[in-house]
Amino acid sequence: MAIADVAEYAHLTKDEVEQLGREFDAIRAEIEESRGAKDAAYINKVITTQRWMAAGARIGMIVSSPFPRARKPVLAASAVTLGLAKILENMEIGHNVMHGQWDWMNDPEIHSSTWEWDTGQPAEQWKHSHNYIHHQFTNVLGVDNDIGYGVLRMAREQKWTPVALGQPVYNALLAALFQWGVALHDLDLEAIRKGQKDPEEMKRQLKQIAKKGRNQILKDYVLYPALSGKEWKSTIKANATANLMRNIWSYLIIFCGHFPDGALHFTEEELEDETRAEWYLRQIFGTANIEGGPLFHVMSGNLSYQIEHHLFPDLPSNRYAEISPRVQALCEKYGIPYSSGPLHRQYGQVLRTVMKLSLPNKMTKDDRPPTGADITIEHRRKAEEERQIRRTELGGWSRSAS
């Protein structure tokens, strides 16, 4: 079941919602004002650490190859270090830089317009599918392609077909091959299946993906193994392990941000005349946090603060920790649920949904709180001309809001 009007669902008056919006705007303004040398030092330190880790791991794999006795432990340590480096690069660095979180530094080398990340998907396509489609239309059925990524049925409103029976298998495959799932994401598999994709655009995107993917594969599975000489096979294994580590970890964090029971869905009616304050409200209802220690937050790219990230996608990630208690206090004040839990609980709920939704709705019980009309949505992204209209409207509210 999905929400058609977020303000009504939250039992808030129009004025209360707008007041809440102003409180969020105030937090944003305060953080923007206080960005400075400490934040810049933080991201530079993370980048330097990550690059040393990656370089160390690669060099370790090469120089240990002629020494049979040292090979095993060095290779194992290198594989793990490379995996951690890839996780850091993709999540705390790449994802956040591409969101424009560090654009304020005016550093052309750490900038959303120039960053390219260490994964199969070209940055340009990611910025469209993620920054725009997902963050603008978060959890709106039929519009946000992140609800199941066109592969899984993650909302009861999505039509059941016998194909869904294989969900547990698709889910495991998606986790293991997450990098490539993400790489194909902006193609919009759903649109292709329905023949709604512009073939010219698809060709352009595929070419871009092929070029990027080729370089990624060449690096991990041809060049570095070749540099390890006779030990090439074990280097391939080590690199595959590193990529698998990164794939499973990023899959886990991302799924736990949007698919636990506390993250709700919306119908397209919600988007009509939605104000910026209502957009904020939808972000809170549509996302969930994961609890953990400071290192856990860094390794998850601070996406464990998924609610804060969705409210302020372009504020520096190292500040989400201090924003979080303020957001919680506001949620309490306005009586809005703030969905948060440890990784095992959040993922447990995700897995349960994957399993349950592989079956038709009538065979299972809904775990989410009742939200609204029981409707069925054909998953379909808005036609291009309709989206153009929506863009202009949004431009209007954003400006008049401040």
Asked if residue 41 binds other proteins (CB under 8 A), the reply is: yes
Measured from the CB of residue 106, what is the shortest distance to other proteins in angstroms?
Answer: 4
Measured at the alpha carbon of residue 397, what is the angle toward residues 391 and 398, in degrees to the nearest 5?
85
Measured from the CB of residue 152, what is the shortest distance to other proteins in angstroms?
Answer: 25
Q: Nearest CA to 348 among 245, 262, 219?
A: 262
Measured from the CB of residue 52, what is the shortest distance to other proteins in angstroms?
Answer: 6
Query: Helix or strand or coil: residue 122?
Result: coil
**Rounded to whole angstroms, how far apart are CA atoms 315 and 323?**
10
Q: Among residues 283 and 340, whose Cβ is nearest to other proteins?
A: 283
**β-strand partners of 140:** 266
Q: Among residues 138 and 171, whose Cβ is nearest to other proteins?
A: 138
Measured from the CB of residue 136, what is the shortest distance to other proteins in angstroms?
Answer: 5
For other proteins, the binding residue among 215, 240, 355, 375 (CB under 8 A) is: 215
Measured from the CB of residue 29, what is the shortest distance to other proteins in angstroms?
Answer: 8
For other proteins, the binding residue among 139, 216, 287, 358 (CB under 8 A) is: 216
- Tell me the per-residue interface mask from 126 to 145 with other proteins, x by CB under 8 A, - otherwise: -xx--xx--xx---------
Question: How many residues sit close enough to other proteins to count as binding (CB under 8 A)?
Answer: 52
Q: Is the dihedral of CA 123, 175, 218, 220 positive or negative?
A: positive
- Tell me the per-residue interface mask from 47 to 66 with other proteins, x by CB under 8 A, - otherwise: -x--xx--x--x--------
Measured from the CB of residue 369, what is the shortest distance to other proteins in angstroms?
Answer: 28
**Rounded to whole angstroms, how far apart are CA atoms 154 and 167?**
10
Measured from the CB of residue 289, what is the shortest distance to other proteins in angstroms?
Answer: 20
Stretch that binds other proteins, among 35-43, 144-152, 262-270, 298-306 (CB under 8 A): 35-43
Asked if residue 40 binds other proteins (CB under 8 A), the reply is: yes
**Rounded to whole angstroms, how far apart are CA atoms 59 and 46?**
20
Binding to other proteins, residues 267-326 (CB under 8 A): 313-314
Measured from the CB of residue 249, what is the shortest distance to other proteins in angstroms?
Answer: 20
Q: Among residues 111 and 368, whose Cβ is nearest to other proteins?
A: 111
Measured from the CB of residue 156, what is the shortest distance to other proteins in angstroms?
Answer: 29
CA dist list (Å): 174 to 7, 177, 324: 35, 5, 30
Q: Among residues 175 and 227, whose Cβ is nearest to other proteins?
A: 227
Strands 289-291 and 265-266, sheet pairing: unpaired
Asked if residue 395 binds other proteins (CB under 8 A), the reply is: yes
Asked if residue 392 binds other proteins (CB under 8 A), the reply is: yes
**Rounded to whole angstroms, how far apart are CA atoms 55 and 17?**
49
Q: Is the dihedral of CA 127, 187, 135, 243 positive or negative?
A: negative
For other proteins, the binding residue among 273, 295, 365, 402 (CB under 8 A) is: 402
Q: Which residues bind other proteins (CB under 8 A)?
A: 29, 35-41, 48, 51-52, 55, 58, 98-100, 103-109, 111-113, 116-118, 127-128, 131-132, 135-136, 212, 215-216, 218-219, 223-224, 313-314, 391-392, 394-395, 397-399, 402
